[in-house]
Each structure stands twice: as C-alpha cells, then as structure tokens.
Structure 1
Amino acid sequence: MGGGVTERLPEGSEPLLPTKREDGGGSGEFNGASFAGAVFNLSTTIVGAGIMALPATMKVLGLVPGLVMIVLAALLTDASIELLVRFSRVVGAPSYGAVMGDAFGWWGRRLLQVCVVVNNIGVMIVYMIIIGDVLSGTSSGGEHHYGVLEGWFGTHWWNGRFFVLLVTTLVVFTPLACLKRVDSLSYTSAISVALAVVFVIITAGIAIVKLIKGQIPMPKLFPDVPDLASVWELFTAVPVLVTAYVCHYNVHPIHNELKDPCQIKPIVHTSLVLCSTVYITTSFFGYLLFGESTLSDVLANFDSNLGIPYSSVLNDAVRVSYAVHLMLVFPMIFHALRLNLDGLLFPSSRPLSSDNRRFAVMTVLLLLVIFLSANFVPSIWDAFQFTGATAAVCIAFIFPAAITLRDPHSISKKWDKIISIFMIVLAIVSNVVAVYSDAYSMFHKKSSPSIA
C-alpha cells in the first residue's frame, strides 16, 4: 500500500509545499501554521460571493426552514470533510487528488482536478466581475448603476472598469498570488473574515434601527405553497445552500502546513461554526431588512435609499467592505486552482513550489486569463452558472461520497454509506435544479443572474 502511494505522489498531487518544514519562498524556516491562521484560511475559502445569495433563499423558503437548512448544510459539509480526511490518513495522501487517485485511479484524480480548475476559474471570474460592478458600476437593461468610485469622484478614465480591475490585479492579486504557502495568507484571511463580519454588523444594525422604528413588517416564517409551481420554486434554493460551504480543495494544503496535523478536525469544526454564524446572521437580517424586495444578490439592495440617516454612507461602507473582502478571498481560491492545474498539465514534474520558473509562468498566465475573461467575455458568466454549480457539488459531496462507497480499504461504517448515498442524491437533485433554473432564466432573459 505504501509503495502505491509513493508512486502516485509525483502526479501533480503534492501540497503547495511538500512538507510543512520547507520554505519555498526563502524567508527562513517555517515551523508550521497556527490553529487561528488555519481557521481564517479555511473560513475565507468558504465565505465568498455566495453569502450575498443567502438572504434571497430566506425569501423563497421562509426564515425557519431557511435557517434550519443552513445548519444542515454545515453538518453535511462537516461529514463530507471528515470522510475525506479519514480516507486520506489511511493512505497517507497529501491531497484531495491523491485520495481520488487511490480510490479510482488515474481518471479519478484527473476528474477531481478538472472540477477544481473549472469551479475555481469560474468563481474568480465572478469575483472580479462583482468587484468591477461595485467599484466602477455596471450597465444592464439600458440602465447604469453607479459604482462607488463613480459616486465619489464622478466618471473618469482612471475609475473605469478596465483600469480599476487592472490596478486591482497588479497591486492586490499578483503579490498575494506569488506567496507559495497557504499560511502566508492567514493575515489577509483574517481581514477578509473581519470584513464579512463588518457587513453583517452593518446589515444587522440597520435592520434593528428600522425594527425599533416600526418600519419593518413581520417576515415570512414559512414558505407560501398555493400550487405545484410554488413547490418547485422551493427547490431553486437548494443549489445555493449546497454550494455555500465548498472548501474541500483547500483542506489538504492547510492540513499539510499545520504544526499539529491532528488539529485539522477542530479547525474544520471551528471554521464551519464561524461561517454558519455569519451565514445565519446575514440571511436573517438581510431578509428582515428588505423582506419580499430582497434581490438574488442582496448587495444590489444597497444601491438605494435605506430610509435611515447616513444611508449613502452605509451603502458605500457595505459595498466597499464586500469588494475588499472578495479581493482577499481571491488568492485563497487561486492557490488551489494553480496547484490542480499544474497537476493536470505536468503530472510527472517536481513540486510546483520548487520550480520557480513554472510557478511564475503559471501564475501570470492564470491571472491574465481571469482578468481578460472578466473584462471581455461577459457571456462566460452564463457558462459558469452551469459548470460551476456542477463542479462545486462534485467536489463537496459526490466525490467524498463515492470514495466512501467504493471503500478501497474497508474502513466505511454503515452510517458512512447511508450519509454518502444521501449526499449523492442531494447533489444530483441540486444539479438538476440548478441547470433547469439557469436554463429557464437564460431563455426567458431574466435581467440579472443569481450569484449561486
């Protein structure tokens, strides 16, 4: 068994650094990542753009079922990661790809890497589009929505979409993407999580003030289901919830850099509790604040008068904090993208961290592709609505469940297999609903696509 794992390691499945004691950046000895740093990095991987779609799920499901579903999604994610880590330890696998390779061979590893590449490229293009929308504005349906910089300084060449995204890529994304260790991002991840909390605090504060003033009606606690079509609409919230906690592709890189690898379990639990708290409060207060006017991207609701003093200042604070949050999430997703793409293209080469030329070329090319796609290929959003949702549920649920059911080392328990079957069924239903709803939206020319 040990020889088989050793044979597979060169096939692009290495962690960003092969061992936690090496330092590919030449900045001295690395003694392992801390518990807090690992929690922030994993939490940042989880909390991205999807947070803005959650209040709209409350509008569809009602507060009670919606909040319960957020908790259940967290518990299911915890179970899938636990299965992944357990099977990794049996074979000493250093990456998600290595576990898939152990269970399903060459094609299993490649399928996982393709899914991570597709998912992460799509996610980062969407992040860049949102950052451009927030800072430089966007035009849709003949109407222009002013960005924060346009609102502050007026329309100029230097606050146009292309230039703002170019500066963001060169000044923010490139330096962070050049860091070779995931743990090097722990401070920016902490800031990113803090900014997500700032968004929650502002939203909650506005909702509480309006609640005290009696300006908020009683929210819908349960869904309205007057007919069969309404029942079908409930399922459109499933893809948002199922993909809300996708972080599995970064579990191994974070685990490999820990001072104490046994801490991965409490790190996962802590991150899921933290992210669930952010999700629950965002969903509750976002829906409470905007009610049935809640848009599929609640950030779009912060583009008008909130009906309280300093409304424009609070709107800008929400949008700027969220744009910076996405900027700091970007490099965490980028690390996993680069590692998995390297595994696909150079399966027999030495670890990426020890080949500076390959590392630099791949970093530059990926940033260039993402930048150009976000600026010049608007229809790519529609494409990733299909592929992104499919790849995400494969990474989060289908692959861990498939490994468990295949059980190459006979360590699965009966309960593990029951949970795995449930995960696969949920993932398939989620995919069917996501594809159908996206296709329906596209063919009926809905004005703005959902972030989910």
Structure 2
Amino acid sequence: MEMENLGDGEESHMLNGSVSESLNTDRLTLEEGYEAEEAAGQEQEGFLQHVSSQKTQFTDFDGKTSFGMSVFNLSNAIMGSGILGLAFAMSNTGIILFVILLTLIAIMSAYSIQLLLKCSAVVGIRAYEQLGQRAFGPVGKILAALIITIHNVGAMSSYLYIIKYELPLVIQAFLGLTEPTGDWYLNGNYLIIIVSILIILPLALMKHLGYLGYTSGFSLSCMVFFLCVVMYKKTVIPCPLNTTHTVHNVYTNGYNTTEEEEERCSPKLFTFNAQSVYSIPIIAFAFVCHPEVLPIYTELRRATTKRMQNVANVSIFAMFVMYLMTALFGYLTFYGQVDSEMLHTYNKVDPLDKLVLGVRLAVLVAVTLTVPVVLFPIRRAIQQLICPGQDFRWWRHILIAVILLIAVNLLVIFIPNIKDIFGVIGSTSAPSLIFILPSIFYLKIVPREKEPLSSRPKIQAALFASLGFVFMIMSLTFIIVDWTTTGKSNIGGH
C-alpha cells in the first residue's frame, strides 16, 4: 500500500512538473509573441526600434478620450479669435495668395506636430516641458514652459477682451437700447468677472481635458453657425456698402464714381500693400495648437503616435476648410472694406440685424468655451516647473486655475489696449511653438546614430527651425516699423 501511495505521489509530482513546464513554455511563447507584435507595430509606425521597450513616463492614467472627442478638443484649440481676421488678411493678399499661404501654414503645422510626436515616441514623454528638459536640461524645460504660458495667457486675454467688448453690446441690443445706460450689467469689466466665475472656472476645474470634448463640440457648432451666416450674408449685403454705415479705412476713402465702385467690388487674385505683411502672422496664429497636442495625446484612448497624428490631421483639415470658407465669403461680401475684426463690419452695416446679433452671441459662446481648453496647458506647464512628478492634488489643481483667471481678468480690466502686446507675443511665441521648438527638440532628442545630422529628416527639421527664426525676425521688424510710422499695430490675437 505504501509503495502504491509512493507511486501515486511520484506520478502526481511528475504530472505537476509537466504542467508547470508546459505553462512556463506557453507564457514564454505569449511574451515572445507580444514582444514581436509590439516591435512590428513600432516598425509599422516608422519610429526607432530601440524605443519599443520604453514606457510612457508622463501619463496620469490610461487614456479614455475617444478619437472624436479628441478631434473636438484639438479643433477647438486651433479655432481662435483669429478666424475673425482672416477675411481682412485675404483682402490684403488676394484670393490665390491667401489660399497658398493658408495651405502652406496648415501643412507646416501638421509637420511640426509630427516632429513633436516623434520626439515623444523616442523618449516616452508626453509633456512639452519634459521634452525641453530632455533636449536642453532645466533651461529647455523653463523656456518651453514660459513660451506656452505667455502664448496661452495672450490667447485667453484675447478671448476675454471679445467678451468684454461684445457682450455688453449684445445685451444692449437684446434690451432694445440704442445707447449705453451705465448700468452694471452693461459694464464689460463686471461681465468678464461674472462669466469667469459662473462658466469658465467650473469647466477649468475638470480633472481631465477629455471631459471638455462636449463643450468643445458645442463651441465648434457655434462657429459653424457663424460660417453659415457669413455665407448667407454674401447674398443679401450689396456692394458697395450703404454710405451711412460704410467702414472707413484706407481702402474706401476717395471712391466716388461708378467705375471706382465697380473696381472696389471686384475680387483681387493677388494684392500687396502696406497691410499685407500682417497676413502671414494672422494666418499663422490661427493654427497654433501645439501646447494642447501632448495633453490631448496623453488622454487619447488606445494612444499611439499614428492615431494622434490622425487626430491632428483631421482637426487641421477641418479648420482649414472653416478658415478658407469664412475668409472667402467674408471677403466677397465686403472686399476692401472689410474690417480687421469682421463682426465690427457687420455691426456697422446694420447694428440692429437680429441674425448678426445671433452670430455675435454664438461667437461669444465659442470663445468662452475655448478658454478652459487653453488654460489646461498653462496649468500643466506651471505644475511641471514647481512640482514635477508629484501626485495629483485637488487643492493645487484648483488654486492654479483660480490664480490664472484672476491674473488674466486683471490684465483685461486694467490694460485698455493690449493689441500691441499681442502683436509682440504672437510674433515670438507662435513661431517658437510651430517652427522652432519642435524642430530643435527633434534635432537634439533623436539619436545621431539612428538619424545623422546629414540625414534628410534632420536637414528638414533644421530648415524648418531656420524658417521660424526668419518669420520671427520679419514679424517683429514689420511691427516696429508700423509702430514708428502709424503708431499702432494691426495684428489681433489668436
């Protein structure tokens, strides 16, 4: 009996050993298969093979934002107040030249996002500031954080300025008032504080950027309504404009005869004048979304560089169509009489037009819902500077948002005209975010043994960075010249 039990024990031990060995073999086979599949996926995306074993170092959680919501958020980040100045840009360049510039800058914006995503894939980092640190140490980190903060604070200020000056006029029109009454609810300073507390702050306190996908979608729908009205108004507004409400500027003064009126109402394919130099900055500012790319990438579901690049491509193409249609129909409505802020032109044609009033309200809603999206990268940049690597804390999350909104509100309230500041900030931060930083990060981060400096991708990145420096120097030069000759700048905010 003992021998029999011993035999059973040995048989059981041998069976367990066989099963264990089989399980280990299966596990090794699965691991090898998984590694092979992961390596193949990396090779298919065209990135360096040596990063396949790296893990993302800057993710607070597994991404849960869908592809569509990510497109909404990035499109909303691209769509800024700059859309209101694109018809003015077309009037100073001509239709064909404007289309060429818009196409080139859209392609350049997509290319610079590709450079950012490649850098992120190489080092496993999804934070703009951390890419700066990996490339140039603490100096690079501080520089990236400062540029993002300056640019986005300028963008937030431009949105609040629209609220400050447009919302009182909308309320006044709804109340049927022809003149301001001096009541508090028609005071723009009070209104931006109320909007900041009741609408912007609660949205800015969301823990994750992906939650703003719904508000971003609604914001974009408001801008689609704006585009539809611009297209409709082309069919009902005569040219030249009624002399009672004609927009007076350098293009309208001196036109009296019928021949001159016909000339005024003829579209120009190519135009170059003193204001043409502002067209490139206006178009470039309209595509700046780079501070929001990596935060959106972090929260993207099933995040890969290829999937995020598709998000960027869809968003940029959608905004390209929106910008082109808005500029074209706005220009074909007013031609050389279009104002640098197109809503002002409609207001001067007919201040009591209910449809235009609805458009102004839609634009107000759109820019209000865009402010929280722009605030997220600033808060992230500040956190990377003062508390990198620390766990999420609600008190810190709320405190930074409150301080930022207070600072921007004070800026908008106490500085009567910061248009020139926007011009300087935009001429430095926009080329830095679109051209310079992505290129120099790529040159520094991607190993030379994988891509030598003489390789085609590195040469393209170097030329791209050089183009950014040229653009920055030219923009600042033109602004300074304009200040010295006319005493003002004509560049609007993003």
Fold conserved between structures, TM > 0.5: yes
Tell me how many residue pairs correspond in the alignment.
411
Could you say what secondary structure the match of 2:301 adopts? coil
Asked if 2 retains the 8 angstrom alpha-carbon contact of 1:305 and 1:311, the reply is no
Q: CA deviation at 1:445?
A: 5.3
| 2:353 equivalent among 308, 312, 315 | 312
Of the candidates 253, 263, 268, which is equivalent to residue 220 of structure 1? 268
Partners in 2 of 1:385 and 1:237 — Cα distance?
Answer: 12
Deviation at 1:47, TM superposition (A): 0.5
1:148 to 150, 167, 170: 170
Asked whether the 8 Å contact 2:419–2:489 carries over to 1, the reply is no
Measured in 1, the distance between the counterparts of 2:487 and 2:235 equals 32
Pair 1:298 & 2:298 matched? no
**1:350 corresponds to which letter in structure 2?**
Q
1:33 paired residue number: 65
Equivalent positions of 1:426-437 (< 5 A) are 426-437=467-478
Show CA shifts across 1:390-429 (max 9, x none): 1121111101111233354235484423432342233223
Matched, 1:190 2:234: no
Aligned to 2:432: 394
Q: Which residue of 1 aligns with 2:380?
A: 339
For 1:293 and 1:418, the matched residues in 2 are separated by 43
Residues 63-98 of structure 1, C-alpha deviation per residue, up to 9 Å, x if partnerless? 011012111111111111011101111111121222
Alpha-carbon distance change, 416 to 57 in structure 1, aligned in 2, over 3 angstroms: farther
Contact 1:45 1:329 in 2 (8 A): yes
Question: Do structure 1's residue 358 and structure 2's residue 406 form an aligned pair?
Answer: no
Q: SS where residue 374 of structure 2 aligns?
A: helix
| 2: CA distance, partners of 1:443 / 1:235 | 15
Report the residue type matching 2:166 in the other structure. Answer: V
Q: 2:108 aligns with which of 76, 81, 87?
A: 76
* Cα-to-partner distance string for 1:239-278 (whole Å, 9 max, x where unaligned): 1222221111111111111111132121111101111010
1:92 aligns with 2:152: no
Name the counterpart of 1:129. 161
| Structure number with larger C-alpha Rg | 2
- Picking from 366, 371, 377, the partner of 2:409 is 371
SS in 2 for 1:61: coil
Counterpart of 1:81, as a letter, is I
**CA shift in 2, pair 1:440/1:323, >3 Å:** farther
Shift of residue 159 of structure 1? Answer: 2.2
> Judging changes above 3 Å, is the alpha-carbon distance between structure 1 residues 54 and 426 closer, same or farther for their aligned structure 2 residues?
farther
> Which runs of 5 or more residues in structure 1 are unaligned?
22-31, 137-146, 225-229
Give the aligned residue type for 2:161.
I
Q: TM-score, normalised by structure 2?
A: 0.77
Q: Which residue of 2 aligns with 1:264?
A: 308
Summarize the Cα distance change of 1:243–1:98 in structure 2 as closer, same or farther, 3 Å threshold: same
Q: Which residue of 2 aligns with 1:278?
A: 322
Partner of 1:112: 144
User: What do you get for the CA RMSD once the two structures are aligned?
Assistant: 2.6
- CA distance in structure 2 between the partners assigned to 1:176 and 1:39 by the alignment: 18
Q: CA-to-partner distance for each residue in 1:148-174, whole Å, 9 max, x for gaps? A: 112232332222112211110111111
Cα gap change, 1:64 to 1:211, in 2 (>3 Å): farther
Change (3 A) 1:243 1:422: farther
Distance 1:385 1:60, change over 3 A: same
Q: 2: distance between equivalents of 1:297 and 1:440?
A: 22
Query: Is contact 1:52-1:451 (8 Å) kept?
Result: no
TM-score by length of 1: 0.84
In structure 1, the partner of 2:81 is 49
How big is the shift at 1:380? 4.0
Equivalent pair of 1:20/1:257 in contact (CA under 8 Å): yes
For the Cα contact (< 8 Å) 1:83–1:404, is it kept in 2? yes
CA contact (8 A) 2:163 2:188 kept: no
Corresponding residue number in structure 1 for 2:423:
385
Q: Which amino acid aligns with 2:376?
A: H
Shift of 1:210: 4.5
Task: Check whether the contact 2:278–2:491 (CA below 8 A) recurs between aligned residues.
Answer: no
1:439 corresponds to which residue?
A: 480
- Indicate which of 195, 199, 203 corresponds to 2:226: 199
Structure 1 letter corresponding to 2:479 = D
Q: 3-state SS of the aligned residue for 1:73?
A: helix
The Cα offsets for residues 110-158 of structure 1, whole Å up to 9 and x where unpaired, read as 110000011111111111011111112xxxxxxxxxx111223233222
Deviation at 1:447, TM superposition (A): 6.5
Q: What SS does the aligned partner of 2:359 have?
A: helix
Between the aligned partners of 1:441 and 1:324, the Cα distance in structure 2 is 33
Q: Which of 312, 333, 339 lines up with 1:289 in the alignment?
A: 333
